[in-house]
A and B are shown apart, each in its own frame.
Chain A
């Protein structure tokens, strides 16, 4: 039976002493979505992903693939894979040993597939993990994950510390060789611009709350960025942009819900980058709070 939702969260709260790392998260992630969690440090992205993986106790209702992640973690992990920036593969192991280990403990792992994926990389099967560069270790981890027939993949800052080449390779491998439309992927990263083309949906988080959530298509329809001609500046301003920023001495206007036809005659129009949109929403939230 096809599952409609991979993740369902209602009023999820995680408190540490006096502060809330998660402050009432309501969220539904449909099966097959590639959801990006975007926000500054301390926004609660990793905390939420840890809760999804059953690594944290939270208040509220949380259901992942129809299971309670805390109580049924063992069962859940047969269908969920994860890569986090801090997950360290054991340095004393060889690549072959780690593959055999995963093969021995994971019922959905395909050893031959993993070896086949690795054969296309620079990773030698008999290399010790401690001799691999950070980029190759992440590539090895991704190869392992790609050989697991999982329903949900959780990526928490998976490419942190990698150079540009490895980061690009990571995401292209993920989407071209792994994502088949049925798998659900949750990604949290600071390098938003690199995953923009990968996401189907985005969630903006700040201070343990969801500030905005929508599909990328809807965001592109709803928000437009205008770089007005010099003579159209005042007309653009009169259309009440939700945010104005300056880029290389030129003002860039962000509009919400404004018809594209009204803007095209004023200058260059395009959908905003997710990172810019996020910054605009943060600024707006801040100024509304102050106001």
Chain B
């Protein structure tokens, strides 16, 4: 256990920019934007998205706010907060992508692999520490950022609503559930498990290929093209497409459109065949990473 904690701490020390600083900076920027909007300093208006205090001059909006019940407020607020946190999640997704591709390639390239392997840590433990990092630990690190953004957004909105006599200060707070924090973290963990085959594939490419990006893309491109020519099907392509998307795509159809998921939905994912196919594939890939890492001993001309 101590070994695993040490290995994960080492990864966080090495990748603090991607996993700690970057999400926090994005959170700070988003918070500033939110505060600026509520204080009337800026507006965000795109064809799909409108975030501005002008919306509260709309009579219908004001009436809805005055009459909405707690469930309605909660639903709207959850959707808004999910969208607001997306840039943080995208930042972390990018950091995870870079980590997966580079983590086993870099240690070979800079030859630190020989030092790491000179210590009594098995290859399996090292590989599992990296898998645990991206699936369990990084979501835990991201969560406080999301909570911070939520709280700053709700506080700014409450001040704006109260000072403009729209609704009382406590309007949103009564509808904000602290248990949503659990909903978010479990949803992030579910997402990690859903995308695990892709993450494991990228790590695998880093463990065996001299050029990890090519090693990750070329075999997949070849297999996808061969499948479409020989079998006239696109199962592999759809498999990858699904894993790039939200884990909710694994749910039965009636749940697919649900944007804000409940913890109970995760059980539904566990009951799908797709999920377990992904887990089996991930296990094979993890075995492959361990195999290649244990054979990467190219350190002498003799």
Chain A interface residues toward B at CB < 8 A: 21, 41-47, 50, 53, 55-56, 73-75, 77-78, 81-82, 84, 86-93, 97, 100-107, 156
Contact = CB atoms under 8 A, between A and B. Distances in A.
Nearest to A104: B6
Contacts, number: 85
- Size range of the interface on B? 20 to 34
Nearest to B121: A105
Nearest to A55: B297
Give the interface centre of B7, B111, B118 by most chain A CB atoms within 10 Å: B118
Contact of A86 (B14, B114, B119, B120): B114
B300 A90 contact: no
A41 B118 contact: no
A159 to B, nearest CB: 16
Interface in B257-302: 297, 299-302
B120 A84 contact: no
27 contacts: A21-B302, A42-B302, A46-B300, A50-B297, A50-B299, A55-B117, A55-B299, A56-B297, A74-B120, A77-B118, A77-B119, A77-B120, A86-B111, A86-B114, A87-B111, A88-B110, A88-B112, A88-B115, A89-B115, A90-B14, A90-B112, A91-B110, A92-B13, A97-B13, A102-B119, A103-B6, A105-B121
B210 interface: no
A104 B302 CA distance: 33
Contacts of A50: 297, 299-300
Given A86-B299, A88-B111, A74 B122 contact: yes
A236 B35 CA distance: 97
B46 interface: no
B2 A104 contact: yes
A43 B302 contact: yes
A47 B300 contact: yes
B3 interface: yes
B9 interface: yes
B15 to A, nearest CB: 10
B126 to A, nearest CB: 10
Contacts of B211: none
Given A77-B120, A84-B118, A156-B300, 16 more contacts: A21-B302, A42-B301, A45-B302, A50-B297, A50-B299, A50-B300, A55-B299, A74-B120, A77-B119, A86-B300, A87-B299, A101-B6, A101-B10, A104-B9, A105-B7, A105-B121
